[in-house]
Structure 1
Amino acid sequence: MRLLLTSTHGMGHAMPLMPFARACRDAGHDVLLAGPHPIAEVAAREGLTYQRLPWPDEERLAAVRRLVAARQGMARVKTAMSDLFVRTYARAALPGTLALVEDWRPDAILHETAEASALIAGDALGVPTLRVGVALATPYEEWWLSMTTEALDEVRAEAGLTPDPGALRAAQTPVLTQVPAALDAYQGPPPAHVHRYRDEHVGAALAPGLESSFDHYAWPDPDAPLVPISFGTMVPTDGHFPSLYRAAIDAVADLPIRVLVTVGRHADPATLGPLPANVRAERWIPMADVLPHAAAFVTHGGAGTTLAALAAGVPMALLAISADQPLNARLVARLGAGLALEGGPGQAPALGALVKALLDDDRHAAAARRIADEIAALPPIAAAVGEIEGRAAGAQPWAVGTTMSSAMFTRGGAATA
């Protein structure tokens, strides 16, 4: 089987695809990862074949990002999903995606929910598609589709497709996710076809002796609770860095804990300045390795990072910055598995009180452990290969399924025969 995976540029979008890519590769299938240039780094790390997809011009990107920044709350999310992800990212990528699908002829396509060019190309060329969830709760996947229905129809028309009112056709595609049902609570109905799996490498304790790798830091108290701090892939040009990290460090430095800060592969810990005796900072350490040994976790609430903490049963102090992070933070707090601050980076000085509350009240850790137990009971990612194979086997032969040619596609609007 040939399997095409597509992603937009964010690591939070690309990384959920990787466990499924590895499982299919291990099962002997050919896997190709496609996306904008930053995805090449992910492909190289995973040893996957990579194909670059077109990217919007900078003038268009700047205009749409200004439009998103001018919105607040759910209006910002809707604008981002419709105008940035569909009308900008997907529209730019679609000619390349159509050409790639025609040339490589995959048996199935896996795309993360926000990457819409594959959804449209699969429909246009008769190739079955499956969504890989990138949200912390599966109903969010459906919200995003419903928010983008008008934008999707515009780009569908450019590919010669009829409208899909309410994105109902798109909503029938299977969703593969690592999210347990517990995280769907209070969020509305899940997708029509959702399949839940666990990544055996997330939430699992390190092999005996590997925690000693923290010993070289010479902690003042090596037995103090470990509290990692990570705000995702922020870089020095993001405005909030390094002031957010510094404020978070100062907020927790007086607590009797060990603090391990990771600032991201493209940032320099030296920009944080002198560190307290109980704080260590690194560019990057896999959180999946650290979290099983953590007593609490300070984070921004990104979906992948939050899910990894829950899989390890670690309660969180959440300070949301953007995108779906406020939704994620509120959800975790409502489930009792953490405490959340409203108001963005300016609230970082209050993180110390949240961490102390998490360490003093076992109910938060108990709630996180309940979710971890549910995740541990899910079937392994390897079981998803059968679902993907079944979806591919149910399709018509490739030559029969083809409904159009990428040569028919024009950037100016509708396709013509």
Structure 2
Amino acid sequence: MALRIGITAEPIPSHVSALDYVIRPALEQGHHVTLHAPVVFRREARRRGVELHGAGTNWACDPLVQRTASEIWTGLGNAPFNRYVFGHLWPKQAEAKARDLLTAWTRARPDLVIAECSDLGAHLAAKVLGLPLLAADNGLGPVLLDLWDTDIAPALLPLYKQYEQDTPVLPPMVTPAPVAWFYPAPPSSARAVRRTVAEFRTALPGWLDRSPSSRPLVYVSLGTLTTAMTDLRTVVGSAYREIMAALSAIDCDAIVSAGNLAEHLRSTGPRIKLVEHVPQPALLRHADLFVTHGGRASLLDAVQGATPVLAMGVLADQPDNAAAFARRGLGRALDLTATRLQIADAITDVLGSPQYAAAMRTADTELSQLPPLDLMEQWKGCDLV
């Protein structure tokens, strides 16, 4: 039996990729998948072979939203940033998403809704229509749980009352990693499932084929969202410059993926290749070290490539993720404002210490042993919300 599955995503550049562990199994198991997301994701849907229905606005790309959020981050720090973004901005956008989904799902009712854990409008629409709902952890699950009672649920309550619904509750979640890796206090409803990525992201382009080299390969990426926010973009640009200055003093090859910041940066040496984008999961199977912003998807890409990390957390869940991976011995963590000397010392330490790579191989084994995501099983066991 093929299910009609509605998957929802919010307008953050990396969020469709973060849901590949749900999208790919659904397609491989023969289900009909529709992605309900802003139309900016049309290309991402096409690349994955799923139908796109436009839902919600592209609010995350609004220059005023980006400027305000980045000013809060630079002026007040990450905790106030999280309260503003997840306790104010995200609930504020829920009504438009819910309205679009109520229209779409009344017209063509899905058998199962799999919504991003942060897609608050999708949670409400499924609840109003009595649809089976599962939340897919996109990496923000720990932040949402931390802020749910104090910030998120109170902000959602007026909207829920408008639709004559009870108090907002975060739905049961699936997460593509052992729960204890990212949750200090694991929620009872979270279930860990095997992680997959889109097939096209596993192929290494011809231009990335390396000629034999005795030097280690370092891959650097500080994420996509961080380069889109005005004040934050300046801080991240400075971090890229410090990282490349550190790399130029080390006997290694490096690929630095900086998104739309790449055109404003300059390589500091012939062994440092500066690009906009690369297929990260494929490249990390060839790299010896990953300098990363600590996003959950990026860290799991590193685990599946058995590549130790130097994590420099930026915002949201990333600083906590970086610290958690350092505690597990999977690499090192540094503040985003670290100097080139501190960065060079950390890179040299990780490249020269085999225990980090050994810990990553152990983590990769643990990750690969998680049970596959069975959508029919999830559907049969999913209570109506």
| TM-score bracket for the superposition, by shorter chain length | 0.7 to 0.9
For residues 299-314 of structure 1, the aligned pairs below 5 Å read 299-314=292-307
How far off is 1:130 after superposition? 0.3
SS in 2 for 1:239: helix
Q: Which runs of 5 or more structure 1 residues have no equivalent in the other structure?
A: 396-400, 402-417
Structure 1 position 191 matched with structure 2 position 187: yes
Alignment match, 1:414: none
Alignment match, 1:226: 217
How far off is 1:132 after superposition? 0.4
Alignment match, 2:177: 179
CA distance in 1: counterparts of 2:205 and 2:53, whole angstroms: 38
How far off is 1:161 after superposition? 1.2
Rate the CA distance shift 1:52–1:227 in 2: closer, same or farther, 3 A: same
Q: 2:40 aligns with which of 38, 43, 53?
A: 38
Rate the CA distance shift 1:144–1:308 in 2: closer, same or farther, 3 A: farther
For residues 205-220 of structure 1, the aligned pairs below 5 Å read 214-215=208-209
How far off is 1:309 after superposition? 0.7
Structure with larger Rg: 1
Alignment match, 2:137: 133
Rate the CA distance shift 1:67–1:299 in 2: closer, same or farther, 3 A: closer
CA distance in 1: counterparts of 2:309 and 2:63, whole angstroms: 39
For residues 18-57 of structure 1, the aligned pairs below 5 Å read 18-55=20-57
Rate the CA distance shift 1:352–1:29 in 2: closer, same or farther, 3 A: same
Q: TM-score, normalised by structure 1?
A: 0.80
Alignment match, 1:253: 248
- Pick which of 240-249 and 65-74 moved more: 65-74
Q: What code does the residue aligned with 1:194 have?
A: A
Q: 2:258 aligns with which of 244, 258, 263?
A: 263
Alignment match, 1:366: 358
Native 8 Å contact 1:12 1:134 kept in 2: no
SS in 2 for 1:106: coil
Q: What code does the residue aligned with 1:103 have?
A: R
Native 8 Å contact 2:24 2:196 kept in 1: no
Structure 1 position 143 matched with structure 2 position 146: yes
Q: 2:273 aligns with which of 276, 280, 291?
A: 280
Alignment match, 1:119: 123
SS in 1 for 2:302: helix
Q: TM-score, normalised by structure 2?
A: 0.86
Alignment match, 1:153: 157
SS in 1 for 2:5: strand
Native 8 Å contact 2:294 2:311 kept in 1: yes
Q: Which runs of 5 or more structure 2 residues have no equivalent in the other structure?
A: none
Rate the CA distance shift 1:292–1:174 in 2: closer, same or farther, 3 A: same
- Pick which of 143-152 and 74-83 moved more: 143-152
Rate the CA distance shift 1:378–1:306 in 2: closer, same or farther, 3 A: same
SS in 2 for 1:38: helix
Q: What code does the residue aligned with 1:160 have?
A: E
Q: What code does the residue aligned with 1:19 have?
A: Y
Native 8 Å contact 2:17 2:197 kept in 1: no
Native 8 Å contact 1:94 1:118 kept in 2: yes
Alignment match, 2:318: 325
Structure 1 position 357 matched with structure 2 position 349: yes
Aligned length: 374
Q: What code does the residue aligned with 1:158 have?
A: Q
CA distance in 1: counterparts of 2:162 and 2:152, whole angstroms: 16
CA distance in 2: counterparts of 1:387 and 1:64, whole angstroms: 43
Native 8 Å contact 2:38 2:58 kept in 1: no
Q: What code does the residue aligned with 1:133 have?
A: D
Structure 1 position 315 matched with structure 2 position 315: no
Rate the CA distance shift 1:201–1:315 in 2: closer, same or farther, 3 A: same
